[in-house]
Structure 1
């Protein structure tokens, strides 16, 4: 069934993305952007560039292999994985179905567009964790980001995989990964019992 049909529009909550800001995204992580003014910026590269430091807080909650006080010795150690996500297929529909969320329990995850010119955008979707350790459907939020902005999720934040609109975007990403599936990335698929309807969709995100 098409996600924009009247039947599903009436059944599912519809969320309008808001422009992302440092303030409204703070509970989920940080917006990675060039500051308008930074008194701590320094001149580098023989005076040909400025360096803006500590734009996001990147966290690895796994203990080091040499930590003798490790409270969870079964938890695998992790290395930072610097990867590129090539989001080559922008969403063309006016609404997008949310069928799943994911989280990285032990690591931040940063997405930084490469070569962003400000003429494309992507949508970030987040939700709170509930007392049953699952995402709370009623807390879904959506944020619109132009392709000059990056975002950095805190560990354990439920979020949807990147939703690219208008034009393809390549993201450089950094995540601490151990190679142990559920420790690296946990997915939660909405079902009818969990608030989803036909096809498992739990909400619609407006993209126009």
Structure 2
């Protein structure tokens, strides 16, 4: 890795730390109740999925390939027309990179970048307009993705290669 590359530490993913960006999707810490004649436990309303009136929510599968260290950060994106959720179907860990918007800039603020490590039983839902890096899977596997489909441009990318940032090995 380049000597000029600044490495960001990954912190454990918790609902409290991730709250400004969205929700952590996991059973831990949530109430449940029996369904299906007692053969299942239901954990309800784990994420607040959103889409504008012109779009619709859809479920997709992303078949992700493992990203190898060094984890160099090249772009951020946000979805202004709806939320976006990722749940690993094979319980694989993944990295999440988020950023706040710079005041009066309409772009992410480099100094606000945060990195989270999602353990295999955790998924996430990004709030609408949350700046984030594309999926950084730490193992090959499938992810269930819930996001908005429909007319309009729901992906606003920005190139951050010039920021010279990477992620410390988790």
Normalised to the residue count of structure 2, the TM-score between the two structures is 0.92
Rate the CA distance shift 1:37–1:59 in 2: closer, same or farther, 3 A.
closer
Greater Rg by CA: 1
Equivalent-residue separation in structure 1 for 2:23 and 2:29 (angstroms): 16
| 5+ residue gaps, structure 1 | 65-76
Query: Which structure carries more strand by proportion?
Result: 2
Q: 1:90 and 2:62 equivalent?
A: no
Q: Which residue of 2 aligns with 1:14?
A: 7
Equivalent position of 2:88 in the other structure: 113
SS of equivalent residue, structure 2 residue 125: strand
CA RMSD between the two structures = 1.5
For 2:16 and 2:85, locate their aligned partners in 1 and report how far apart those are by CA, in whole Å: 17
1:35 aligns with 2:11: no
Q: 1:49 to 1:59 in 2, by over 3 A?
A: same
3-state SS, counterpart of residue 135 of structure 1: coil
User: 2:49 & 2:57 partners in 1: Cα distance?
Assistant: 10
For 1:179 and 1:58, locate their aligned partners in 2 and report how far apart those are by CA, in whole Å: 18
Specify the SS of the correspondent of 1:24: helix
Residues of 1 paired with 2:169 and 2:58: CA distance? 30
Q: SS at the partner of 1:105?
A: coil
Deviations 1:45-76 (A, max 9, x none): 0111111111111122x2x3xxxxxxxxxxxx
Residues matched between the structures, number: 169
Q: Alpha-carbon deviation of 1:36?
A: 4.2
- 1:71-90 equivalence runs, <5 A: 77-87=54-64, 89-90=65-66
Within the candidate set 164, 172, 183, 2:144 is matched to 172
Q: Once structures 1 and 2 are overlaid, which stretch shifts more, 23-32 or 170-179?
A: 170-179
Please state how far the C-alpha of 1:115 moved relative to its aligned partner.
3.1
3-state DSSP of counterpart to 1:138 = helix
Kept after mapping to 1: 8 A contact 2:99/2:109:
yes
Q: CA deviation at 1:90?
A: 1.1
For 1:142-181, what aligned pairs fall within 5 Å after superposition?
Answer: 142-165=115-138, 167-180=139-152
Deviation at 1:37, TM superposition (A): 5.3
State the 1:35 CA deviation. Answer: 2.6
Structure 2 stretches lacking a partner, 5+ long: none
Alignment of 1:25 with 2:15, yes or no, is no
Deviation at 1:190, TM superposition (A): 2.3
